[in-house]
Amino acid sequence: MLNYKSSIIENKKYSGLSIKEISPVMKLNLRGKSRDFLSTIGKNINMILPIEANTSSSSDKYTSMWLSPDEWLMVSNNIIDKENNNYEIGDLLFNKISKTNLGAVTDVSDQFVLINLEGEKVFDLLSSGCPMNFNKFKEKEGTVAQTLLSQVDIIIHHKKHNNVNLFVRRSFSEHLFSWINDAASRL
């Protein structure tokens, strides 16, 4: 089900900032509240969903991001093999969670576009279009925030030092990408 058509045509490089799209990546939206939900997810992906606000947790294969007290975004750390195009974990979780009414598992792989920003000017760029204060956010690795960037809803994941993943809805991605390029050229 992965969409291979890239919404971003070329990767860009500026001094202190490089911008690229990472695709295809599996993305699942997980919703649920009960203890059973959390333990079933934990058993099947071998990691615990982050309970603390604005944090994420990672295993070797997946990263889970806290979105709200009952909502998480789970993404694969590596790109999915284009040849066989499957990610069994999605079906497995759907059968164990959605079918048993423990919660909801929704495949949002094609809904979100993953834009990776890297370089020492990452937070200068984000600050120029974001109402959020990044002082605390950039101190820790693994922090997550949902906010607005140039009036577009985004999920920001602080992956590593000066390396940030942006998740943006596909229909907004081209607009946001051109805004990022415009803003980056003025830094």
User: Cβ closer to other proteins: 17 or 65?
Assistant: 65
| 139 part of the interface to other proteins, by CB under 8 A | no
Minimum CB distance to other proteins, residue 136 (Å) = 9
How many other CB atoms are there within 10 angstroms of residue 149's CB atom? 22
148 lines the binding site for other proteins (CB under 8 A):
yes
SS3 category, 125: helix
Angle at CA 103, nearest 5°, toward 52 and 63? 45
Contacts with other proteins by CB under 8 A: the residue count is 14
Using CB under 8 A as the binding rule, whether residue 131 contacts other proteins is answered as yes
Rounded to the nearest whole angstrom, what is the least distance from the CB of residue 47 to other proteins in the complex? 21
Q: In what helix (H) or strand (E) does residue 20 lie, and over which residues does it extend?
A: strand 17-21
Q: Shortest approach of other proteins to residue 172 CB, angstroms? A: 12
d(CA 182, CA 187) in angstroms, rounded, equals 9
- Asked whether position 132 contacts other proteins by CB under 8 A, the answer is yes
Per CB under 8 A, does 68 bind other proteins? yes
Q: Quick one: which of 29, 98, 146, 163 contacts other proteins (CB under 8 A)?
A: 146
Beta bridge partners of 62: 76
| Interface residue with other proteins, options 12, 61, 71, 106 (CB under 8 A) | 71
- The conformation of residue 128, written as its DSSP 8-state character, comes to T
Interface with other proteins (CB under 8 A), residue from 133, 135, 139, 186: 133
The answer to the question of residue 53 lying near other proteins (CB under 8 A) is yes
- Long-range contacts for 155-161 (Cβ within 8 Å, ≥24 apart)? 155/65, 155/67, 155/73, 155/112, 156/126, 157/56, 157/63, 157/65, 159/116
- Could you tell me which residues are beta bridge partners of residue 169? 112
Q: Does position 147 bind other proteins by CB under 8 A?
A: yes
Residues forming the site for other proteins (CB under 8 A): 53-54, 67-69, 71, 131-133, 145-148, 153
